[in-house]
């Protein structure tokens, strides 16, 4: 994504929230920017998040006055698999030697 785009990522109760804010297009800033759910999901996968599904989907841009340039996406996170505990074997008793 573009360096001018503000991205805030937070996690709560197994849900990942990603807030994206685009700069307003003015005479000084002429770039047209467009962000959709697919682009946000690809960005989060690049950042090594394991996503299951998109809970909220949005489309934002900075070149249409009717579209607000800030949105928050929500994604369900993959729960980490519990690591199995390794069981240690009981030490075997040493055989007794008899002296004759």
Query: How many structural domains compose the chain?
Result: 1
- Classify residue 90: in a domain, yes or no: no
**Residue pLDDT, tens place only, 42-95:** 999 999 988 889 998 899 999 888 888 999 999 999 887 777 777 777 777 777
Q: pLDDT class for 100, splitting at 50, 70, 90? A: low
- Classify residue 50: in a domain, yes or no: yes
- Classify residue 42: in a domain, yes or no: yes
- Classify residue 43: in a domain, yes or no: yes
What is the C-alpha separation between 22 and 32, in angstroms, rounded? 10
- Classify residue 44: in a domain, yes or no: yes
Vertex 25 angle, CA 30 and 67, to 5°: 135
For the stretch 22-46, what's the b/e string if a residue is b when 16 or more beta carbons lie within 10 angstroms of its beta carbon?
beebeeeeeeebebebeebbebbee
Would you say 78 and 53 are in contact if contact means Cβ atoms under 8 Å apart? no
Confidence (pLDDT) at 47: 92
Give SS3 for 34: strand
């Amino acid at each position: 994504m573009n360096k001018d785009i503000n991205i805030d990522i937070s996690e709560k109760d197994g849900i990942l929230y990603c807030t994206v804010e685009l700069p307003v297009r003015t005479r000084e800033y002429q770039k047209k920017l467009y962000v959709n759910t697919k682009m946000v999901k690809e960005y989060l996968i690049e950042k090594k998040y394991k996503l299951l599904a998109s809970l909220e989907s949005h489309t934002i841009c900075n070149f249409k006055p009717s579209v607000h340039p800030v949105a928050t996406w929500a994604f369900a996170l993959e729960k980490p698999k519990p690591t199995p505990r390794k069981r240690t074997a009981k030490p075997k008793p040493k055989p007794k030697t008899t002296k004759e």
